């Protein structure tokens, strides 16, 4: 009897394959992004992301209630403000879109954890993650002040987790100090510690309403896709500054980074980003792949690499169709 025969016998039926499966996904392992547009009544599908919508406040609340009923782990909120300016003032306003949506969720009695995206690109007139300096690069130190104010306002509104995604130097230290000084020392920080300057973010700019404003790139503050060792340096730095959870973004083409991050002994989450979502959706629409099978394989590969949780636009459909 060969070892191959033993393996083959355990593959002969779906039930046996399930028994032998090393990697599983539960609804609670997934996190659903929600785009809230304060100028919108109802919902609007995002053209480059079929099946993903911007929601007005009431429709967003309905959707989040449905997501909670599916036992999905959490929602992460992205805001589209009515007015964008050169100070990103809507990002940290008391009545900002994420702050308002968070309060509505908490007041409704829903228990699903709320993660607040803490960035400026949806709120700046130029579509960048902060103010630009004379070289047209994001001004690191000014951006830190904006991020600190934004995080404090989101925590005050009731956010359960603060998720800074700007990838500027010192952001975790600045936010941690700001939260602690304001009485929010128990609010965890999910750090986008290894966020790459990726070509897979394009559809997100449609979703966030910044595609018509953004020009240039973010290569001066996000990571070079060629670099692996740099990710560990960045992640370790964020741990030292007070991060509670580490994020790797994107996911599909950065499985090695997820695996490396897992060795640090901290929770590792991964973001299955907009371009990754759109590629599968468009491939399925063209008839060149089975969408459900490809989504299942993709999410399991991210989990297999070491991700504890996955932020994915497939979360709702995956739970409904596959679990």
Tokens of 146: 């904006």
Classify the C-alpha dihedral 95-47-129-200 as positive or negative. positive
Q: Compute φ and ψ for 211, nearest 5 degrees.
A: -65, -30
Active site residue 219: no
Alpha-carbon distances, residue 263 vs 246, 268, 301 (angstroms) = 12, 10, 17
β 309-312/30-37 pair status = parallel
Which position among 249, 281, 309, 320 bears the catalytic label?
A: 249
Torsion angles phi and psi, residue 78, rounded to 5: -120, 135
249 part of the active site: yes
Strands 53-55 and 74-80: unpaired
Integer Cα distance of 245 and 187 in angstroms: 12
Residue of 148, 195, 281, 309 marked catalytic: 195
Cite the active site residues.
195, 249
């Amino acid at each position: 009897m060969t070892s191959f025969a033993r393996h083959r016998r355990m593959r002969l039926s779906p039930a046996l394959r399930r028994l032998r499966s090393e990697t599983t996904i539960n609804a609670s392992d997934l996190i659903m992004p929600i785009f809230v547009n304060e100028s919108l009544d109802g919902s609007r599908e995002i053209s480059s992301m079929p099946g993903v919508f911007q929601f007005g406040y009431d429709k967003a609340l309905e959707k989040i209630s449905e997501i909670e009923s599916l036992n999905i782990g959490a929602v992460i909120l992205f805001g589209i403000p009515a007015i964008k300016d050169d100070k990103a003032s809507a990002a940290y306003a008391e009545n900002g879109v994420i702050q308002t949506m968070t309060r509505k969720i908490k007041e409704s009695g829903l228990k699903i954890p709320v993660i607040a995206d803490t960035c400026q690109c949806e709120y700046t007139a130029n579509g960048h993650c902060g103010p630009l300096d004379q070289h047209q690069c994001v001004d690191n130190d000014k951006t830190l002040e904006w991020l600190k104010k934004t995080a404090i306002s989101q925590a005050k509104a009731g956010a359960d987790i603060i998720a800074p995604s700007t990838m500027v130097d010192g952001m975790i230290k600045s936010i941690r100090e700001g939260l602690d000084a304001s009485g929010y020392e128990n609010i965890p920080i999910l750090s986008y510690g290894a966020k790459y300057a990726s070509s897979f973010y394009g559809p997100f700019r449609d979703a966030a309403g910044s595609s018509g404003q953004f020009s240039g790139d973010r290569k001066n503050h996000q990571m070079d896709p060629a670099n692996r060792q740099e990710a560990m340096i960045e992640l370790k730095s964020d741990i030292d500054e007070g991060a509670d959870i580490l994020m790797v973004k994107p996911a599909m083409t950065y499985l090695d980074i997820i695996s490396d991050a897992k060795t640090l002994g901290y929770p590792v989450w991964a973001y299955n980003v907009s371009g990754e979502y759109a590629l599968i959706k468009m491939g399925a629409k063209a008839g060149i792949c089975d969408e459900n099978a490809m989504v299942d394989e993709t999410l399991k590969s991210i989990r297999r690499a070491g991700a504890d949780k996955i932020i994915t636009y497939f979360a709702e459909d995956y739970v409904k169709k596959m679990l």
